[in-house]
Structure 1
Amino acid sequence: LDVVLQPAPALTWRTIGGILDFYVFLGPDPGSVIEQYVEVVGYPAMPIYWALGYHLCRWGYNTSDSAWEVVKNMRNYGIPQDVQWNDIDYMDQFMDFTYDSSKFATLPDMVKDLHAHDQRYVMILDPGISSTQPEGTYWPFDEGLRRQVFIKDAEGRTLIGKVWPGLTAYPDFSDAVTHEWWYDNLKRFHEKVPFDGLWIDMNEPSNFLDGSTNGCPSDSLENPPYTPGVLGGLLRAKTLCATAQQKQSIHYNMHSLYGLMEAKASASALKRIVAKRPFVISRSTFPSQGMYSGHWLGDNRSQWKDLYTSIAGMLTFNLLGIPLVGADICGFSEEPEEELCVRWTQLGAFYPFTRNHNAIDMKPQDPTAFSPLARTAMKQALLLRYSLFPVLYTLFHHAHVHGHTVARPLMFEFPKDVKTYGIDKQFLWGKSLLVTPVLDPGVDYVDGYFPEGLCIQSSGEELPLQAPLDKINLHLREGSVIPTQTPNLTLWVSSGQPLHLISALSDDGSATGDLFWDDGESIDTYETNQYTYIIFSVAQNVMTSQVLHNNVEATYITVELASFYGVKEKPSRVLVNSQDASFTYRENQVLTVADLGLNLSQNFTISWM
């Protein structure tokens, strides 16, 4: 299938066959189109809480000690980090379900240490299973042959391709038997290295050969009358033969589903092994992927252009029901200038999925590798993200239950403002937070567009915003209430902190917001009613908190602070639950009430007169 964008504007679809089902989603507005689409393909899973923290990875740590060293440096500098990853270096000769016992001898100890600090460990897995080990020495292949889990060629023999470990067989994830074999392998490895999540890569499926070691048959499936504009101009280029046989159909019909089916097998196995919400990030995706995994935008480069285009990639996957998405922060290949890495960390702090990832033989690009000025700027950006965790977590709840986007284009909230249609350098978190990152080198300001009603004074105009190197512009929409927390080094710690409610009152003095809260990791908390949901609203000088659904999980969190922006006159009294309370009022129309100690699971009121 080719889809070609014409200048007309028009789309031309060219397909070489297959069964086509067309769905038309009528909206009427952009957000409703996405809700209708997600209702068909499946709602995205609610992520485990630590998935929303800062992740650090690189290809080329070379030893577990060098990865461990970075983790310790991050702690010493007080920079938040929830998850440490490993690329293929950790494996013994790049073989799945193994680790190199010389260079990565301390891997189990590193994982134990991460867990002791409320941090998590994620490792890469490729689908290609080494097929050349002596019989009896590599259980995944021997057992896979025994259970017949591998994709076969047109003649019924195990199809052999080539990936990192050399010659490999490819599991057929369209077969339930393969899912069980995958689970068994993961469980066996988890007993040695208690990983917390999985990064599934190379699952297009990718192949260093075209088709297989034996090539592919010459027929109309392999050589259709028209070939779409794919890499190499062949359907088999750098992947498997179209004629390869899978349980459910020939590979020609299953190819695009490979990553989706592997994600489904991986999420299902993780649920059984850790008995918590599974965390999976996949390279290959297909509609309904959000039910099983998130996605990163693939191998990018350390260039300003890639920083800019990452916004469109992130927004696109949110439209497709895969909200847990982000690009490699600071770029994967090439070495970033310090300024680029700072600006990228600031933008990356607002990707729904935030991971810094780096290629082999490149200089380190984690925050500890830069000057004190850059390091501090990155740390501030990440602490800002961590302080907004209650907002982000609630947005993921709405994605899971209603099919809403987490990161969204401005046009979603302002469909009548034609000027928002082409904006791809700014975006929103939900409906309330506007992110305006710096995307160019050597500047200390950025132009941002403010639709009418986004800020208290805005009537739909472009404004220059100050943006020194240590600052990213974040604006709160009028009429919004957001819950924030004091950030800490991990989400486990910061998510237990008291809440600070920030209200940006609209011209008539009103605002609304909400909070979804649960234990952060149990499966199906919404479906089993193990959660708390609260609506905050402000009208006529009164804030009310209404607990619509209550479960014990939220009772240990208190509201300590409430700030109201846009209170036009200094109040003479402030009452909290009808009791007098002390307050401060600043000339810029900000009313602050501190030391509240309010229990989140009980309704409360704050009023002023």
Structure 2
Amino acid sequence: LSPQAAGEPFSFGVVRSDTGNVLLDTRIGGLTVSKQFLSLTALLASKNIYGLGENTHSSFRHDLRQRTWPIFARDQGPAVDSGELNLYGAHPYFQCVENDGNAYGLLLLNSNAMDCQLLDYPAISYRTIGGVLDFYMMLGPEPESVVSQYTALIHRPVMPPYWALGFQLCRYGYGSLEELQAAVNRTRDAEIPHDVQYGDIDYMDRRLDFTYDQVNYEGFPEYVLEAKENGLRFIVILDPAINEKAASLGPSNTMADKTLCLAAIEGDYKHYDVHNLYGWAQAEPTLRAARRCTGKRSLVISRSTFPGSGRWAGHWLGDNRSIWPDMRHSIIGMLEFNLFGIPYIGADICGFFGDTTEELCERWMELGAFYPFSRNHNQIDAVDQDPGLWDSVATSSKKALEIRYRLLPYLYTLFYYAHTSGNTVVRPLMHEFPHDRHTLPIDDQFLWGGGLLISPVLAEGLTARSLYLPFDAWYDYYTGRAAERPGERVTSPAPRDVILLHIRGGHILPTQRPALNTQRGRSQPMGVIVAVGLDRRATGDLFWDDGEGAHTIEAKEFGLVRFEFVQDVLTSTIVQNVKGSLGGLKLRDFEFLGVEQKPKHVVLDGTDLPEASWSYDAENRKLVVSAEVDLNTAFTMELGSIWRYKVDMD
């Protein structure tokens, strides 16, 4: 930007050198710096602004009509229709997608209370009550690169244990061990996959951490140990709450709301300056203690987060309500926290406050089956809502969760790349198609990585929904049939027991036959879904380790397999296989989507497979092959004609 003349106010700007796009220009307004008030206003490159949390808003792409978004960690549930509320986390970070599809991110590293006003110019105005104006810019230019650069700054996300990707069940207010057992039994009897059961704070003796109610929860420790033998993990919730007397200490108690007085002194700091760091500061010692006790990877989930919290913890979206709008808006929170570097994210499935309905819980269980952190949870005064209560919910939950469990190797691999490279796990369509303007506002569909599109039904009474498929090859998950009108918005049937899923061409998704929990499932045969791209190619990876070791990635004690499909030939490459990490794994299920005609031969490592071991669906152009391959060794599978087979043999 051009320099100021003598006597003009100080300002600065950032310009992308290769395009000339002005990314930040502070000439729009003045700069104020004082002890307890700092402000700065800047023009931005476009109106496509995402992030700035945690607060309530009804769209992923921000409304810029002079909306003010507060950022101050607070025990406030995400009631979207209650105005612009600050919630549990503090993330003064946004991403902007420029009009040409390039993207950048901007972090204000400041722990004080602040608000950010977005203006239609487009512009942003920061106002904070302390700290410094310490800005960091990530220049991408791809949206995924922006997130990778951001997490390189604030630290990469923690790698969750494999079992933490299974379905989890909780409620505040089981009331007794017998009621908790009844919910577990209903889930098991309905054959719904279930990996983690919780005890919320009512299991405690008088709400005291590290205790349990020895009357209502008599036999609790023994039951936990017994359940673990059958593959069910237990998480107990700890609530390091501040009592009312402590919260009122200090010169002025109109400043405290479920927290210490902001004038309280903590070591060398005032709570005024470090309030937003409380959850961030608790996460690391909690994870360290859990790992020391168990010797395993362990898991910490916190509502109170700050930039860098994802290094140690996941996040859930707090005390939502059992209503359709809160279900829909959970997708926005999930997308945002992937931008914030906390990909292990989810909402309370079926809602926390209030009584759910059968249809709402059914649809929410289908959506929640694709939250990275998938947990059904509700509060003490509400009706039970575990999925085994209703036949319809049980059936739909089983169907959706079995798909999730089948795709857990793919999801786990996405978390590996989040942990090592800073990629998102759940991502918006605009991350994969930033040059397609139709993707920029979409927040009712989302992707797992780049390869799986999820389009849930989000309103009552609907058995179909409109969805957008960007221009590419897309295949229906259930039939394998290719989408006929990519690049357009289409309406697709979605019966009550169906969540719409599409696999993107060019991707290979590793799979595993599902079981009732991951302890049983990890020994099941594996497979691949090969979705042929527009260029007749596809690629994909499988990451695998013991699923719970605290340092397997740092110690490189894992296996990594790369799959490629080129010119009708599927090959695998063993990128790494340390200490037999892939030992015992068998690849048996092969599914090829977009195969235009029935092959004359299917050849595995030079051997012609009998036709009884494979079948071709001409209507949907899908080929299914059953053959056993040891994942420890590279293999080649060819779909070819007699002519090509003979040439290869020569």
TM-score in same-fold range (> 0.5): yes
Note if 1:5 corresponds to 2:152. Answer: no
Q: Does 1:78 align with 2:106?
A: no
Contact 1:444 1:468 in 2 (8 A): yes
Note if contact 1:389-1:484 (Cα within 8 Å) is conserved in structure 2. Answer: yes
Post-superposition Cα deviations, 1:25-49, rounded to whole Å, max 9, x if no partner, equal 1111111111111001000111011
What secondary structure, in the 3-state scheme, does the structure 1 residue paired with 2:529 have? strand
Which 10-residue stretch deviates more, 374-383 or 49-58?
374-383
Moved more, 236-245 or 33-42: 236-245
1:593 maps onto 2:625 in alignment: yes
Amino acid of the residue matched to residue 403 of structure 2?
L
Equivalent residue number for residue 217 of structure 1: 251
Aligned amino acid, residue 297 of structure 1: L
1:510-533 deviation per Cα after TM superposition (whole angstroms, max 9, x unaligned): 111110000000012111110000
Matched residue count: 514
One of 488, 495, 499 as aligned partner of 2:526: 499
Give per-residue Cα distances to partners, 1:409-453, cap 9 Å, x unaligned.
000000110000000000000000000000011111011100001
What RMSD over aligned residues (CA atoms) do the two structures have, in Å?
1.4
Other-structure match for 2:131: 18
Partner residue in 1 for 2:634: 603
Contact 1:450–1:460 (CA under 8 A) maintained in structure 2 = yes
Q: Which residue of structure 2 lines up, in the alignment, with residue 90 of structure 1?
A: 203
Counterpart contact for 1:518–1:525, Cα < 8 Å: yes
Contact 2:538–2:566 (8 Å) recurs in 1? yes
How far is the alpha carbon of 1:248 from its aligned partner?
Answer: 4.7
Q: CA offset at residue 458 of structure 1?
A: 4.1
Equivalent runs, 1:32-43 vs 2, <5 Å: 32-43=145-156
**Match of residue 376 from structure 2:** 356
What is the CA distance between 1:17 and its match in structure 2? 2.2
Distance 2:268 2:187 in 1: 47
Q: 2:287 aligned with 1:256, yes or no?
A: no
Higher relative contact order (CA 8 A, sep 6+): 1
Query: Using the alignment, how far apart are the partners of 2:282 and 2:534 within structure 1?
Result: 51
CA distance in 1, matches of 2:568, 2:629: 19
TM-score by length of 2: 0.77
Which deviations, in whole Å up to 9, do the C-alpha atoms of 1:287-320 show, x marking residues without a partner? 1111111111000000000010000000100111
The structural deviation recorded for 1:9 is 3.5
Residue 243 of structure 2 aligns to a residue whose secondary structure is: strand
Measured in 1, the distance between the counterparts of 2:312 and 2:363 equals 31
| Sequence identity percentage | 45
Matched to 1:287, the amino acid is P
Deviation at 1:598, TM superposition (A): 0.6
Aligned to 2:331: 311
The correspondence of residues 267-306 of structure 1 with structure 2, limited to 5 A, is: 267-306=287-326
Amino acid paired to 2:526:
L
Q: Tell me which of 141, 150, 170 is aligned to 1:28.
A: 141
- Bigger proportion of residues as strand: 2
CA distance in 2, matches of 1:89, 1:420: 44
Distance in structure 1 (CA, Å) of the matches to 2:533 and 2:116 = 44
Give the secondary-structure state (helix, strand or coil) at the position aligned to 2:528. strand
Determine helix, strand or coil for the equivalent of 1:13. strand
Q: 1:458 to 1:537 in 2, by over 3 A?
A: farther
Query: Aligned ranges for residues 495-534 of structure 1 at < 5 Å?
Result: 495-534=522-561
**In terms of mean alpha carbon deviation, does 491-500 or 513-522 score higher?**
491-500
Question: Given the alignment of the two structures, is residue 239 of structure 1 paired with residue 271 of structure 2, yes or no?
Answer: no
The alpha carbon displacement at 1:235 in A equals: 4.1
Letter in 2 for 1:280: V
The aligned counterpart of 1:473 is: 500
TM-aligned CA deviation for residue 346 of structure 1 = 0.4
Q: Aligned-pair distance for 1:6?
A: 2.9
Distance 1:34 1:64 in 2: 43
Gap regions ≥5 residues in structure 2:
1-113, 475-481, 641-650
Q: Find the counterpart in structure 1 of residue 647 from structure 2.
A: none
Contact 2:197 2:233 in 1 (8 A): yes
Tell whether the 8 Å contact from 2:177 to 2:217 is kept in structure 1 after alignment. Answer: yes
Q: Return the offset for 1:127.
A: 1.4
Indicate whether 1:122 and 2:141 are aligned: no
CA distance in 2, matches of 1:307, 1:548: 40
Alignment-derived partner of residue 59 in structure 1: 172
SS in 2 for 1:397: helix
Q: Tell me the CA shift for residue 508 of structure 1.
A: 3.2
Q: Report matched runs for 1:32-431 at 5 Å.
A: 32-128=145-241, 162=243, 211-212=247-248, 214=249, 216-217=250-251, 235-370=255-390, 372-431=391-450
Give SS of 1:125's match: coil
Give 1:553 deviation, angstroms: 2.0
> 8 Å contact 2:130–2:273 — kept in the other structure?
no
Distance 1:269 1:490 in 2: 26
> In the TM superposition, what is the alpha-carbon distance from 1:247 to its structure 2 partner?
2.9
Contact 2:472/2:534, CA 8 A, preserved across alignment:
no
Letter in 1 for 2:335: L
Q: Secondary structure at the match of 2:388?
A: helix
SS at match of 2:237: strand
Which residue identity is paired with 1:306?
A: D
Give the corresponding residue for 1:545.
572
1:488 aligns with 2:515: yes
Do 1:389 and 1:495's aligned partners in 2 also have CA atoms closer than 8 Å? no
Alpha-carbon separation, structure 2, partners of 1:98 and 1:46: 29
Superposed, 1:558-597 pairs within 5 Å as 558-582=586-610, 583-587=614-618, 588-594=620-626, 596-597=627-628
1: CA distance, partners of 2:444 / 2:434: 17
Counterpart residue identity of residue 387, structure 2: P
The Cα of 1:217 is off from its aligned counterpart by 1.7
Match of 1:453 among 445, 464, 472: 472
The structure-2 alpha-carbon separation of the partners of 1:92 and 1:548, relative to structure 1 and needing over 3 Å to count, comes to same
Distance across 2 between alignment mates of 1:508 and 1:312: 33
CA displacement, residues 80-105 of structure 1 (integer Å, 9 cap, x when unaligned): 11011011111111111111111111
Contact 1:451 1:458 in 2 (8 A): no
1:11 Cα shift? 2.0
Q: 2:453 and 2:174 mapped to 1: Cα distance?
A: 36
TM-score (norm: length of structure 1): 0.83
Task: Give the AA of the match of 2:316.
Answer: W
Cα contact 2:316–2:348 (8 A) shared by 1: yes
Give the distance between the partners of 1:598 and 1:79, measured in 2 at CA. Answer: 29
Paired with 2:240 and 2:394, the residues of 1 have a C-alpha distance of: 37
Deviations, residues 446-505 of structure 1 (Å, cap 9, x unaligned): 111000014254441111111000000110001111111111110111122111211111
Residues 26 and 330 (structure 1), Cα distance of their counterparts in 2 relative to 1, 3 Å cut: same
